[in-house]
Structure 1
Amino acid sequence: MSPYKTEARNTLRLALPIIFGELAQMSLHLIDTAMIGYTGYKQLAAAALVLNVINIPFIFAIGITISVAQMVSLAHGKFDKPLVSHYFYNGFWLCAFCGVLISALLLFNRDILLHLKQDPEVVTLAMPFMTLMSISIVPMVLFMTLKQFTDGLQYTKTAMVLSIAAIPINVFLNWLLIYGNWGFPRMELIGAGYATLVTRTTIFIVLAIVILRHKIFRKYIAIARSQWYLKRSTLKQLLKIGIPSSLQIGMEAGAFAGSGIIVGTIGAAEQAAHQIALSCASFAFMVSVGLSQAGSIRVSHAYGTLNYKRITIIGKSTIAMACIYGSICCALFMLFRNQLPFLFNDEAHVTNIAATLLLLAAIFQIPDAVQATSAGLCRGIKDVNVPTIFIFIAYWILGIPLGYLMAFTFGWKEKGIWLGFISGLSFSAIFLTLRFLKKIRRG
C-alpha cells in the first residue's frame, strides 16, 4: 500500500491549495447569500433566481478554462516550456471570447426572468441584480483562466491566496453597500451585485500582475514571444477538451439550477430554503472539486509519459479519498441539519424546509464526491466524450425527470426534486468510476 499512500499524499498536497481556493470562492457566494438573506427571504429568492439562470452559461465558460490546465499540464509533463506558453496564450484569448460572449447574451436576454412563472416581486428585485452579475462574469472567467494556468504548472497556492484575500474585500463591500453603512446608500441586493463585480475585477487584475512579474511565471512569458500567436489547431485541441468538460459540469450545474427554478414555481419560501440547502451542499462539494482537479492534473502529467501504472495508483487513491471525504460530509450534514439554516435566515417556515432538504443532501454526499473525482480523472487521460454521455443520462434522463415526477405527481414538492438528485448522482458515480477503471486497464 506504500505507493498508494505516497500518491495520495502527493495528490492531497497539490489539492489543498486548490481546495482552499475553491472554498474561498464558495465562501464569497455563501457570504452574499447570508448577508442578502437577512434583508428578507424574497431578496434571497431573487438572488437564487438570478444565480440559477446565470449558472448554466457561466459554468460553460468555466468548463472551457479547464482545458487550459489540462493542456498546460500535459506540455509541462513533457518539459516543453514553449508549448506551455503557446497553450496559455491561445487558452487565454479563447476563454476571454467565451466570457464576453456569454456576458453579452445574458445582458441582452434579461427578460427571460419574466417568463419563468416566478413570484412577481422576486422578479422585480432580480432584474438589476441580473445586470451586475452578468457583467461580473467577464473578470471571473479571466481570473479562472489565469488560475488554470498556474494550477496546470502545479503552482496552486498563487490563486488560493488571492481567493482567500477576496473574502474580507467582499464582506466589507457588502457591509457598505447592502446595509448602507458609512454614509453609503442602502442598496440591499443591488449592493451585493456591485460588491461581487468589484471583487472579481480586483482579483483578476492582481493575478495578471503576478503572472507577468513573478520569476516563476515570467520564464514562460520570456520565451513566449515566438509562441504567442493564435493557431487554429491549438484552439481545436483546447475546445476538444473544453467543450465536453463544459458540457459535463454544465449539465450538472444546469440540473441544480433548473431544479431551483422548478422549486421557485412552488413558492418563494421553498425557493429560499432550496437555496440555503444547495449553498451548504455546494460548499461541501468544493473539496471534491479540489480533489478532482488535483487528481486530473497529476494524471494528465503522468499521461504525458504514458505511465499507466502511476496513473492507476493516482486514480484509485484519489477515489478512495473522495469516499472518505463524502462519508464525513454525510455525517456532518445529518448532525447539523437543524442549525445550518440559521446562518442564512431566521424565519421558521424557511429554516424547517431547509433542514429537511439538508437531510436529503447528506445522503448524496458520497456519490457526489466520487462522481466529481472520477470525472476529473477521466479528463486527465483525455477521456471526455463517453463520460459526458453518462453525465447527461444521470441528470437529464434520470435526475430531473424523476425529481419532477416525485415533486408534482407524487406531491412531494421540493423533497421530490432532491430525491431526483440522489438518483442522478448515484448513477453518475458508479458509471464514471467504472469508465475510468476500464480505460486504465486497457492502457
Structure 2
Amino acid sequence: MRWDFQWRENIPLALPVIVGQIGHIAASVADSMMVGALGTIPLAAVSLASSIASVPLVFGIGMAYGLTPMVAHAMGQARPFKAVRLLKNGTVVNAFTSAFMFLFALVLFWGIQFTGQEPAVVEEARTYLWIIMASYLPFMLFMSAKQYLEGMGDTKTPMRISLYGNVGNIGLNALLIYGWGPFPEWGIVGAGVATIIARGYMMMAAWWFVLRRGKADPADWLRAKVTSYPIRALLKIGIPSGFQYIFEVSAFAASAWIIGTLGATPLAAHQVAISLASISYMAATGLGAAATIRIGQAMGRKDLAGAKAAGTSLFLITIIFMALTGLTFFVFRHQLPWAYTQDPAVVASAAALLVVATIFQISDGVQATALGALRGIQDVRVPTAITFVAYYVIALPLEWYFGHILGWGAVGVWSALAVGLTVSAMWLSLRFYRGMERRRVA
C-alpha cells in the first residue's frame, strides 16, 4: 500500500487553519498562565469558569462549521452566489445561536454550585464567566465570516485575523490583569475583558475582508434572501456538528467538575494539563477543517476518489503530528507545568496527567480529523450518535468510577477520557471509509 500524504495540497491549506485554531486556544492558555501568577484559587476559578464557558462555545463552533462544507460544495459546483446566500443565512443562524449559548452557560453555572466546589473558587469563577459570556455574539459573527472564507479555500485570511486578535489579547492580559502603567489591576476580570476586546476586533476584521476585499460580492449579499430552505440545510448539518463537539468537550468539562470535588490543587493541575492538551487538539481540529474543505470541494466536483485520497492523507498527517506532541508531553511533563504555576503540588499532579495525555493523543487527533472528513461528505447524524455513546455512555460513567470508586483521583478521570477518545476515533474513521465505499458502489 502506497501512503500518499499529499503534502503540497494539504499543508498550504491545513497549516493556516492549524495556526488559526491554535491562536484561539493561545488566548485561553495565556489566561491560565498569567492568572496562575495570582495564586491557586484564581487559577482554579478560571479552570472552573472555562470548563463551563467552553461547553456552549464549542456547540457554537460546531454550528458554524456546518457552513464550511456547504460553501465548499457550492464552490466545487462553481456557484458563488449560492455561497453568499449560505453566508447570509448562516450569519442569522449564528446570531441566534449566540443567544442560546448565553442561556446555556447560565444553566450550567447554576448547576455547578451544587456539585461540592470550594465556595471561594465558585465566587471568583462567577465574575469571570459573566464577562466571557458577553463575548459569545462577536465570536459567532466572526465564525460566520471565517467559515465562509475557509469554505472558499482561503485559510490564510482567518489565520492572520486570529493571530492579530490573540496576540492583542495576550498583550491586553498583561496590562489588565497586573495593572501595568495607567491600566487598572483587574486580576481575572482583566483577562475576561481582554477576551471581549480581542473577539470584537476579529469579528470586525473578518467581515471587512469578506465584504470590502472582494471575498463576497456586496451586490450578491444585498440580493441574497434569508429563507427557510438554506436555514434548514444549515441546521441539518450545524446542529449535529454542534452536539458532536459538545459531547466531547462536556466530557472534559465534567472531568473538571469531578476533579474539583477532590480539591483546588487537583483542579488547578487539570487546568494546566488541559491547556497544554488543548493546543494539540486544536491543531487536530484544524486538520479536520482542512479535511472538510478538501473533501467538500471534491464532492461538489463528484470526485469520489479524490475525496477519499484527501481524507486518507489527512489521517496520516494527523497520526504523525499527534504522536510527536504526545512524545513532547511525556518527555517534558515535569518542565511544562512550571510555565503556569510555581506550586510544586500542582506541578506534580499536572505531570501525572500529561502521561495520560500522551496515551490519548493519537486517538484525540484521529477522531477530530474523522469528524471533519465526515462533515465533508455531509454525514453528521450517525457520527453524532457515535460521539454520544463514546463520551456519555462510556467515558462519563468511567470518569466517576475510576476517579472516586477506584480512588485513582484525577489520573483515573483522565484515563476514562482516554477510553472514550479511543472508541470514538476507531468508530468514526471506520464510518468514513465505509461511507466512501457505499458512495462508490452507488
State the TM-score, normalized to the length of structure 1.
0.96
* Counterpart residue number, 2:295: 299
Aligned to 2:172, what secondary structure does the other structure show?
A: helix
Displacement of 1:93:
0.8
Aligned to 2:171, what secondary structure does the other structure show?
A: helix
Displacement of 1:417:
0.4
* Counterpart residue number, 2:223: 226
In the TM superposition, what whole-angstrom CA distance separates every residue of 1:283-332 from its partner, at most 9, and x where no partner exists? 11111111100011110111112211111111111111111112111211
* Counterpart residue number, 1:129: 128
* Counterpart residue number, 2:4: 4
Displacement of 1:393:
1.1
Q: Is 2:47 the counterpart of 1:51?
A: no
Contact 2:23 2:163 (C-alpha < 8 Å) held by counterparts: yes
Counterparts of 1:396 and 1:204, CA distance in 2: 34
Contact 2:43 2:268 (C-alpha < 8 Å) held by counterparts: yes
Displacement of 1:107:
5.1
Contact 1:276 1:341 (C-alpha < 8 Å) held by counterparts: yes
1:42-191 equivalent positions in 2, closer than 5 A: 42-106=41-105, 110-191=109-190
Q: Which amino acid aligns with 2:437?
A: R
* Counterpart residue number, 1:348: 344
Contact 2:3 2:313 (C-alpha < 8 Å) held by counterparts: no
* Counterpart residue number, 2:361: 365
Q: Is 2:433 the counterpart of 1:437?
A: yes
Aligned to 1:115, what secondary structure does the other structure show?
A: coil
Displacement of 1:210:
1.9
In the TM superposition, what whole-angstrom CA distance separates every residue of 1:141-162 from its partner, at most 9, and x where no partner exists? 1111111011010111111111
Q: Is 2:392 the counterpart of 1:396?
A: yes
1:245-264 equivalent positions in 2, closer than 5 A: 245-264=241-260
The equivalent position to 1:282 in structure 2, one of 278, 281, 284, is 278
State the TM-score, normalized to the length of structure 2.
0.96
In the TM superposition, what whole-angstrom CA distance separates every residue of 1:108-144 from its partner, at most 9, and x where no partner exists? 8754443232110011111111110110111111111
Q: Is 2:321 the counterpart of 1:325?
A: yes
In the TM superposition, what whole-angstrom CA distance separates every residue of 1:261-300 from its partner, at most 9, and x where no partner exists? 1111111110000010011000111111111000111101
Contact 1:270 1:414 (C-alpha < 8 Å) held by counterparts: yes
1:205-244 equivalent positions in 2, closer than 5 A: 205-215=204-214, 217-219=215-217, 221-227=218-224, 229-244=225-240
Where structure 1 has 5 or more consecutive residues not aligned to the other structure, the ranges are none
Where structure 2 has 5 or more consecutive residues not aligned to the other structure, the ranges are none
Higher mean C-alpha displacement, 243-252 vs 203-212: 203-212
Counterparts of 2:422 and 2:19, CA distance in 1: 26
Q: 1:392 to 1:97 in 2, by over 3 A?
A: same
Aligned residues: 439
Counterparts of 2:306 and 2:107, CA distance in 1: 49
Q: Which amino acid aligns with 1:314?
A: A
Counterparts of 2:428 and 2:110, CA distance in 1: 38
Higher mean C-alpha displacement, 168-177 vs 61-70: 168-177
- Identity across the alignment (%): 35
Contact 1:8 1:318 (C-alpha < 8 Å) held by counterparts: no
Aligned to 2:120, what secondary structure does the other structure show?
A: helix
Q: 1:382 to 1:190 in 2, by over 3 A?
A: same
Contact 1:22 1:290 (C-alpha < 8 Å) held by counterparts: yes
Higher mean C-alpha displacement, 290-299 vs 136-145: 136-145
Q: Which amino acid aligns with 1:121?
A: A
Aligned to 2:135, what secondary structure does the other structure show?
A: helix
Counterparts of 1:157 and 1:70, CA distance in 2: 18
Structure 1's consecutive aligned runs of 4 or more residues displaced over 6 angstroms after TM superposition are none
Displacement of 1:31:
0.6
Q: Which amino acid aligns with 1:249?
A: Y
Q: Which amino acid aligns with 2:410?
A: E
Contact 1:34 1:344 (C-alpha < 8 Å) held by counterparts: yes
Contact 1:99 1:138 (C-alpha < 8 Å) held by counterparts: yes
Contact 1:73 1:301 (C-alpha < 8 Å) held by counterparts: yes
Contact 1:48 1:272 (C-alpha < 8 Å) held by counterparts: yes
